[in-house]
């Protein structure tokens, strides 16, 4: 944009420096196919030697950002995560999927969504991306808060549960999966997007891309370097398995099934 | 202590989940106020005023709230928050959209999707796709919560006569605008409130075959759902998805047809009283949680089931 009083020559000088970045916040979580086990002492989930993965919704975010770059809309895709010492492993997966570089904010593995939103905001202010993507929820905590909290803290518009994204200059049109069906909204850019399942199907990283990802940079920063002090607001007093269900029975025929439902379970007339 | 429940509604009427949020509010205790933010939402507000547990209804009727855009609703809720110890709404796509913004604006760590109230600061919620129940205590002075649709029995819709107070809304924030809704129309009960749910999975093979479920649904007064696999395959629209990231259902009777039973789907219907599984694969994980399992080809079993229901 040329401001009043600026010369055209100055515009030409500035233009190449304006790069549209996409920042994707990702989380390292238990692999979605693992059956988790509650620790007998009630302190949490036993994650010892458990297979970990990129939260599936965050993987969809990386894929969408990479597609924006491939379409020429975005020029750089940055993955950011908050968590412990194993996080670089997970960031490498995102780099292999096509992210250009990554930022690891070193912290505990169970930082609360509000603190994560504050940390990502600090990165946002430094990097100035035009689109910031989050998964709509992580499959461990199932909170579904971080993207919206980030949007509030930065004062940006949000498009949550996105199943389609179209970027047109300085606006984004997003189709959202809502309880009653689909809703389309239009936001200004910069904006925040949280991904739903149908936004895309993430690619598998090819071997050359995995090799190449090893050379891509992962920057490590501490919350203090970002000027954020992490404060816990909640305490988990107990984690227990849900009440078990009594073992069921196999019926031999539809008639037997209807008979059981009518006369034993009494759930149909 | 006083609790503000932000109503989930479509301007004409309250959504049934609002009665469930009110049940959680009543368990917390104190005065219960309801905020109805919408456009031409008078009938929804009148409905709220008739609910026994409600002491007062606040109505913000303005164009900015017509589609519950979070950039407009969140500041409204924040502006009212001084008067309340607890801010609640349903864990629907509307509540999930604006409530985290409210929490962040108040520097509060929200507690999502609560299914139980232990005390005014301690709540139960499911984590890991419903595979564990966490008891969470918050040190925040103000509590910001969303309520799980199957976590409480809804309060009675009548028996009250609360005052209605109109409050000033503000203009739209302008950074976001509504374009269009493409909402599914169905004569059947809502999935999240249905007494009987019959769901189809990948085994249905295509969208047309879901018609095999319709005759049974008609006879049982059931809602029709689907597994993620069936939605991903494009058989049926997203609003039919039952599971961790779709709808949470708690019917008296849940019938899973051609659904293998991934962890994420099982999460969505754990609260069902009686579960029936029909699947031709005897080793499908769904049989481990079904009260009644029938190993059969669904294309034979469904017509037979429909006629057996008379």
The string of DSSP letters for B178-231 reads EEEEEE---SSPPGGG-SEEEEE-GGG-SSGGGHHHHHHHHHHT-EEEE-HHHH
Q: How many cross-chain Cβ pairs, A to B, lie less than 8 Å apart?
A: 262
Query: Which residues on A lie below 8 Å from B94 (Cβ)?
Result: 178-179
Say whether A257 and B274 touch across the interface (CB within 8 A).
Answer: no
Say whether pLDDT at A7 is over 90: no
pLDDT at residue A154 above 60?
yes
At A135-144, the pLDDT tens digits run 999 999 999 9
Per-residue pLDDT tens over the stretch B90-135: 999 999 999 999 999 999 999 999 999 999 999 999 999 888 999 9
pLDDT at residue B244, rounded to an integer: 81
Choose the mutation target among B16, B69, B131, B288 for the interface with A, i.e. most A CBs under 10 Å: B131
B interface test, pick of A50, A132, A145 with most B CB neighbours within 10 Å: A145
Going from the C-alpha of B186 to that of each of B191, B202, B224, the distances in angstroms are 11, 22, 10
Question: Is the Cβ–Cβ distance between B132 and A38 less than 8 Å?
Answer: yes
Closest CA to A90 of A230, A225, A200, A213: A213
The shortest C-alpha distance from A253 to chain B (Å) reads 7
**Any CB–CB contact under 8 A between B284 and chain A?**
no
Mutate one of B245, B247, B264 to test the A interface: name it (highest A CB count within 10 A).
Answer: B245
* Chain A residues inside the 8 Å CB shell of B244: 139, 142
Residue A156: pLDDT band (50, 70, 90) is: very high
pLDDT at residue A2 greater than cutoff 50: no
Q: Which residues of A touch B279 (CB under 8 A)?
A: none
**Is there a contact between B45 and B37 (Cβ–Cβ < 8 Å)?**
no
- Both tokens of B161, joined, read 């006569």
- A205 close to A62: Cβ distance less than 8 angstroms: no
Question: How distant is the alpha carbon of residue B270 from its chain centre?
Answer: 15
pLDDT at residue A4 tops 80 = no
- Beta-carbon separation of A114 and B275 below 8 A: no
pLDDT of B187: 85
Q: How do strand A171-178 and strand A101-106 relate by DSSP bridges?
A: unpaired
Please report the pLDDT score of residue A10 as a whole number.
Answer: 46
- Using alpha carbons, list the distances in angstroms from residue A162 to A57, A174, B306: 11, 6, 37
The answer for B 219-248 residues in CB contact with A (under 8 A) is 220, 228, 231-232, 237-239, 244-245, 247
Chain A residues inside the 8 Å CB shell of B192:
179
Q: Which stretches in chain B have pLDDT values below 70?
A: 268
Dihedral, A153, A155, A158, A160 alpha carbons, nearest 10? 10
Q: Alpha carbon B262 to chain centroid distance?
A: 21
Say if residues A242 and A48 touch (Cβ distance below 8 Å).
no
Rg (CA), chain A: 23
Q: Are strands B132-138 and B56-61 parallel, antiparallel or unpaired?
A: unpaired
- Within 10 A of A215 (CB to CB), how many other CB atoms are there? 7
Q: Which of residues 120-159 of A touch B (CB under 8 A)?
A: 136-137, 139-153, 156-159
Is B79 part of the contact surface with chain A (CB cutoff 8 Å)?
Answer: no
Give the residue with greater pLDDT, A223 vs A247. Answer: A223
* Closest CB to B130 among A148, A242, A268: A242
For residues A236-245, give the mean pLDDT: 90
For the cut 50, the answer to whether the pLDDT of residue A48 exceeds it is yes
- Is A55 near chain B, with CB under 8 Å? no
If you average pLDDT over residues A105-110, what whole number do you get? Answer: 96
Give the per-residue pLDDT at B54: 98
Q: pLDDT of B133-166, one tens digit each?
A: 999 999 999 999 999 998 899 999 999 999 999 9
pLDDT-based confidence at A19, cuts 50/70/90?
A: low
Interchain contact B22–A (C-beta under 8 A)? no
Tell me if B308 and A254 make a contact (CB, 8 A cut-off): yes
Residue B164: name the closest of B51, B84, B261, B39 by CA.
B51
Q: In the predicted model, is pLDDT for residue A16 greater than 60? A: no
Neighbours of A33 (CB within 10 A): 10
Please give the distance of CA B81 from its chain centroid, rounded to a whole number. 24
Specify whether the CB–CB gap between B99 and B8 falls below 8 A: no
Cβ burial B246-283 (10 Å sphere, 16+ → b, else e): bbbbbbebbbbbbbbbbbbbbbbbbbbebbbbbbeeee
| Interface touch B112/A142, C-beta < 8 Å | yes
- CB-based contact, A248 to chain B, within 8 Å: yes
The two beta strands, B274-279 and B292-295, are parallel
Find chain A residues with C-beta within 8 A of B253's C-beta.
Answer: 261, 265, 267-268
């Amino acid at each position: 944009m040329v401001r009043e009083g600026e010369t055209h020559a100055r515009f030409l000088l500035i233009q190449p420096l304006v790069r549209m970045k996409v920042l994707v916040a990702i989380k390292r979580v238990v692999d979605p196919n693992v059956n988790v086990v509650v620790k007998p002492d009630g302190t949490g989930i036993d994650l010892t030697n458990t297979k970990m993965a990129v939260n599936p919704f965050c993987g969809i975010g990386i894929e969408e950002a990479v597609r924006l770059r491939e379409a020429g809309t975005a020029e750089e895709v940055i993955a950011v995560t908050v968590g412990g010492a194993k996080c670089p492993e997970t960031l490498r997966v995102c780099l292999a999927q096509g992210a250009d570089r990554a930022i690891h904010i070193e912290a505990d593995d169970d930082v609360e969504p509000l603190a994560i939103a504050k940390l990502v905001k600090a990165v946002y202010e430094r990097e100035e991306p035009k689109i910031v993507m989050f998964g709509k929820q992580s499959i461990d905590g199932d909170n579904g808060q971080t993207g919206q909290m980030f949007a509030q803290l930065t004062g940006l518009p949000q498009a949550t549960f996105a199943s389609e994204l179209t970027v047109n200059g300085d606006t984004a049109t997003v189709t959202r999966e809502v309880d009653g069906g689909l809703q389309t909204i239009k936001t200004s850019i910069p904006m925040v997007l949280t991904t739903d399942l149908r936004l895309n199907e993430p690619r598998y990283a090819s071997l050359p891309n995995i090799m190449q990802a090893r050379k891509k940079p992962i920057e490590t920063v501490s919350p203090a370097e970002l000027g954020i002090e992490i404060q816990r607001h909640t305490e988990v007093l107990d984690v227990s398995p849900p009440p078990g269900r009594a073992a069921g029975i196999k019926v031999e025929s539809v008639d037997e099934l209807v008979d059981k439902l009518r006369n034993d379970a009494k759930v149909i007339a | 202590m006083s609790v503000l429940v932000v109503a989930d509604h479509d301007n004409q009427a309250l959504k049934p989940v609002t009665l469930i949020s009110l049940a959680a509010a009543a368990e917390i205790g104190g005065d219960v106020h309801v905020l109805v933010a919408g456009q031409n939402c008078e009938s929804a507000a009148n409905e709220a005023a008739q609910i026994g547990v409600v002491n007062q209804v606040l109505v913000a009727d303005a164009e900015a709230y017509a589609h519950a855009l979070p950039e407009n609703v969140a500041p409204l809720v924040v502006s009212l928050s001084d008067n309340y110890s607890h801010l609640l709404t349903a864990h629907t796509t509307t509540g999930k959209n604006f409530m985290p913004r409210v929490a962040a604006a108040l520097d509060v760590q929200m507690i999502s999707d609560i299914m139980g109230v232990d005390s005014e600061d301690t709540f139960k919620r499911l984590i890991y796709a419903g595979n564990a129940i966490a008891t969470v205590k918050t040190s925040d002075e103000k509590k910001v919560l969303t309520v799980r649709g199957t976590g409480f029995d809804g309060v009675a819709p009548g028996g009250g006569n609360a005052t209605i107070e109109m409050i000033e809304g503000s203009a739209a924030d302008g950074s976001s605008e509504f374009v269009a809704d493409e909402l599914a129309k169905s004569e059947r009960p809502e999935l999240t409130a249905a007494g009987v749910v019959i769901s189809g999975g990948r085994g249905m093979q295509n969208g047309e075959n879901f018609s095999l479920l319709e005759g049974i649904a008609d006879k049982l007064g059931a809602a029709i759902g689907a597994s993620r696999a069936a939605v991903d395959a494009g058989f049926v629209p997203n609003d039919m998805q039952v599971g961790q990231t779709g709808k949470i259902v708690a019917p008296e009777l849940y019938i899973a047809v051609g659904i293998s039973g991934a962890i994420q789907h099982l999460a969505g219907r754990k609260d069902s009283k009686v579960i029936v599984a029909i699947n031709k694969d005897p080793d499908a994980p769904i049989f481990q949680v079904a009260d009644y399992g029938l190993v059969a080809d669904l294309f034979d079993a469904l017509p037979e089931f429909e006629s057996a229901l008379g």
